[in-house]
Chains A and B, each alone.
Chain A
Amino acid sequence: DQQVKQNSPSLSVQEGRISILNCDYTNSMFDYFLWYKKYPAEGPTFLISISSIKDKNEDGRFTVFLNKSAKHLSLHIVPSQPGDSAVYFCAASAGAGSYQLTFGKGTKLSVIP
């Protein structure tokens, strides 16, 4: 049973346009959400996170939106750059003191110059 789902395995976007990556979750105990970016032959790197008490968090070109009622979050990248081409993983944790992250399968973003 997948508790964190990224239903789009891949996404192609033109350089300069907005990239929107989506993530759905089923566990209502999740209260902290993170996005990681992964390049080939490297480990995932932390990108941005959001607590369930917020509905938006912004960091430069990256914004994460959380819709708790729909159990849905999205990552917006504006403007998209070729260097953003990578696999993006959505992850979630449940409760203070939680030590494990539950990851989605990832979405491969390709930004076309």
Chain B
Amino acid sequence: DSGVTQTPKHLITATGQRVTLRCSPRSGDLSVYWYQQSLDQGLQFLIQYYNGEERAKGNILERFSAQQFPDLHSELNLSSLELGDSALYFCASSAGGQGLGYTFGSGTRLTVV
């Protein structure tokens, strides 16, 4: 157990739907990062939050949004889902704002049918 908890582990939904992925960071970590891993692709950085504020943005689609709550857990919202959104979504956390030494969760596998 890495200490980073992601729920649900698996999610199957239809095109056009909206889903919410949840991440609880490791105790004491203020930064949360979201990454997407599509088939045969490396992990693509989506977005980072630090202590409730958006800190950095990567290749995140406008249909996707995220937030970090006062208790530091984070949610990634994916809307108007398309088949191509099917992927593994990883959350990671770290103690500070630097992106080094992440601890990853085990991921949420999203399948859009």
Render B74-113 as a binary contact track against A, CB cut-off 8 A, 1 for contact: 0000000000000000101000011111111111000000
Q: Are A99 and B107 in contact (CB under 8 A)?
A: no
Residues of chain B touching chain A, judged by Cβ–Cβ distance below 8 Å, are: 2, 4, 31, 33, 35, 40-45, 48, 50, 55-56, 58, 90, 92, 97-107
Q: Please give the distance in Å from B60's CB to the nearest CB on chain A.
A: 11
Q: Please give the distance in Å from B2's CB to the nearest CB on chain A.
A: 6
Q: Are A44 and B42 in contact (CB under 8 A)?
A: no
- The count of chain A contact residues (Cβ–Cβ below 8 Å) is 27
The answer to whether A42 has its CB under 8 Å from any CB of chain B is yes
Q: Which residue of A lies closest to B107 (CB)?
A: A43
Contacts A/B (CB < 8 Å), 7 sampled: A43-B107, A45-B2, A49-B101, A89-B42, A98-B99, A99-B50, A101-B43
The answer to whether A30 has its CB under 8 Å from any CB of chain B is no
> Of A6, A96, A97, which is in contact with the most chain B CB atoms at under 10 Å from its CB?
A97
Chain B residues closer than 8 Å to A99, beta-carbon distance: 31, 33, 48, 50, 55-56, 97-99
Knowing A44-B90, A100-B48, A105-B42, say if A34 contacts B107 (CB, 8 Å): no
